[in-house]
């Protein structure tokens, strides 16, 4: 049995001469729900995209399910095990909701159209959007589109779900419907890493908080310790919390 489902060892990344990540290390066990937070521009989204091999890194090691990830890794196969939910949904606008949910199943997992549709039905029902399967993304609200994106990720039977600020592009009234879906997945034991500014959600759902600033992980602790025992966290994390919890 593998000890960790995700393991980062001293990951560093540069854009030209600018170092965006500095010796980032952490590991995640199956079933953990971890929130990565920090100020804008701190490297949060870059870090989560590295886990899904959407970004490269120059130093360090990354293990997914005990497999060392490198340039020769079969990236489509890797990504089929990691569901990714983006800030701006990333749905195909010219495809219906059903087509958005079946195309990767057919092309990557080699499922038949019938199998793919059955799986899509299951997860559209899961996010309460089965009645919208023949609509196009442009006919849906932002909250509905993000729920479709979550369902699409689930159709690939991933071991891990990564969420990159899944509610930041939504109107406030649509945020709760998306957070409710994520919360229910967490309760069912899905391994999740979520980059978010929704600290109320982070407090309720996550088991761990990783706080990053200027590319450096300053805190990696339980959510209870992060939110309830501010004397034990860094001054930078305290100031961040004070600012975001006021809004």
Is the distance from CB of 80 to CB of 55 less than 8 angstroms? no
pLDDT tens per residue across span 33-49? 999 999 988 999 999 99
pLDDT tens per residue across span 161-185? 999 988 888 888 888 888 889 989 9
Decide if pLDDT at 247 tops 60.
no
Per-chain mean pLDDT for the chain? 89
Is the distance from CB of 240 to CB of 38 less than 8 angstroms? yes
What's the average model confidence in pLDDT over 182-210?
89
Count CA within 13 A, CB hemisphere, residue 37: 29
Those residues whose C-beta lies under 8 Å from the C-beta of residue 178, and which sit 6 or more positions away, are 143, 146, 147, 150, 166, 167, 170
Tell me how far apart the alpha carbons of residues 143 and 140 are, in angstroms, rounded to a whole number: 8
Q: 72: pLDDT confidence band, cut at 50, 70 and 90?
A: low
What's the average model confidence in pLDDT over 1-14?
88
**CA-CA-CA-CA torsion sign (120, 122, 123, 128):** positive
Decide if pLDDT at 211 tops 80.
yes
DSSP state at residue 87: T
Instruction: Write down the pTM of the prediction.
Output: 0.90
Those residues whose C-beta lies under 8 Å from the C-beta of residue 234, and which sit 6 or more positions away, are 211, 218, 219
What's the average model confidence in pLDDT over 137-166?
93
**CA-CA-CA-CA torsion sign (206, 239, 175, 105):** negative
pLDDT tens per residue across span 216-239? 999 999 998 888 876 778 889 888
Closest CA to 19 of 79, 77, 60, 69: 60
DSSP state at residue 156: T
Q: 2: pLDDT confidence band, cut at 50, 70 and 90?
A: low
Decide if pLDDT at 119 tops 80.
yes
């Amino acid at each position: 049995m593998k000890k960790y489902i995700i393991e980062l060892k001293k990951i560093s990344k540069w854009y030209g001469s600018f170092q965006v990540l500095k010796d980032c290390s952490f590991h995640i066990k199956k079933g953990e729900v971890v929130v990565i937070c920090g100020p804008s521009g701190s490297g949060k989204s870059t870090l989560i995209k590295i886990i899904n091999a959407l970004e490269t890194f120059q130093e360090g090691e990354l293990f997914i399910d005990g497999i060392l990830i490198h340039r020769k890794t079969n990236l489509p196969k890797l990504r089929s095990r990691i569901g990714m939910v983006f800030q701006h949904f990333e749905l195909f606008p010219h495809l219906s909701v059903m087509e958005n949910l079946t195309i990767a199943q057919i092309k990557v997992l080699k499922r038949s159209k019938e199998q793919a549709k059955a799986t899509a039905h299951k997860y559209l029902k899961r996010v309460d959007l089965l009645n919208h399967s023949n609509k196009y993304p442009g006919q849906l609200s932002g909250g509905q589109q993000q729920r479709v994106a979550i369902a699409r990720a689930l159709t690939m039977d991933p071991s891990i779900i990564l969420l990159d600020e899944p509610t930041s592009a939504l109107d406030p009234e649509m945020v709760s419907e998306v957070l409710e879906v994520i919360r229910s997945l967490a309760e069912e034991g899905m391994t999740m890493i979520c980059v978010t500014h929704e600290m109320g959600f982070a407090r309720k759902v996550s088991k761990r908080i990783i706080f990053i600033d200027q590319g450096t992980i300053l805190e990696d602790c339980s959510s209870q310790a992060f939110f309830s025992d501010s004397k034990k966290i860094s001054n930078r994390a305290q100031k961040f919390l004070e600012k975001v919890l006021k809004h």
